Amino acid sequence: MTYRNAPEILSFPVGLLDVNCYLVYPKQNGVLYIIDPGGSPDKILKQVERFQASSCQVMLTHAHVDHISALGELNKVLNFGKVYLHPDDKPLYLSPANALLPIMPAAKDLPETAWPPPENGDFKVIETPGHTFGGVCYYFPELNGVFTGDTLFAGSVGRTDLPGSGEHEDLIGSIRCNLFPLPDETRVFPGHGEESTIQIEKQFNQFLR
């Protein structure tokens, strides 16, 4: 059954660490964007099937294992063939050490990566190194939303003490210089936890004062 009145942004937690997987459906081009499919592939597929999309495009904000673990199983069903990941995160993506043992082994059957994602007017890529070397955010102007992965959270920021991480100063600089210029009313959709807005994070995020 097709979800004919599909929402433009659908969020739900996946995997052991409750990563926010996003299905973004601007409808203009018939493309369903899958952002950070970090686990629970059956759950993701059940939601994908509800959309009347002509194609799927999978985009990663970064390559930590909790954000990529469902890719192999999804690709077997959806056959998207490649995922979009910044090349600075490809070593992390392919590393057997990219795991959270004992609860989360390294991801298997990972599809090929490509960069940059095709530009079709739906979104803009914002590079935000810090949490990882190749961390990015995806800004959808018409939907008034930015998908920040583990760069910016509601009231917090990403860690920089994990494999593949850069420097804390780089992370803060990425947020201040590349995210905070977005319109204040822009909704922030993070990789974990509740959504926020750029204005709220400017005013109240204690890590960014």
pTM over 0.85: yes
**Range of the structural domain that residue 145 is part of:** 9-208
Is 4 within the bounds of a domain?
no
**Number of domain units in the chain:** 1
Q: What is the CATH number of the domain that holds 153?
A: 3.60.15.10
Is 2 within the bounds of a domain?
no
User: Phi/psi of residue 158, each to 5°?
Assistant: -70, 160
Is 1 within the bounds of a domain?
no
| Tens digits of residue pLDDT in 65-117 | 999 999 999 999 999 999 999 999 999 999 999 999 999 999 999 999 999 99
| H-helix segments, 120-182 | 168-174
Beta-bridge partners for 23: 10, 34
CA dihedral 39, 130, 167, 180 (to 10 degrees): -130
Is 137 within the bounds of a domain?
yes
Is 146 within the bounds of a domain?
yes
pLDDT at position 6 is 55
pLDDT at position 5 is 52
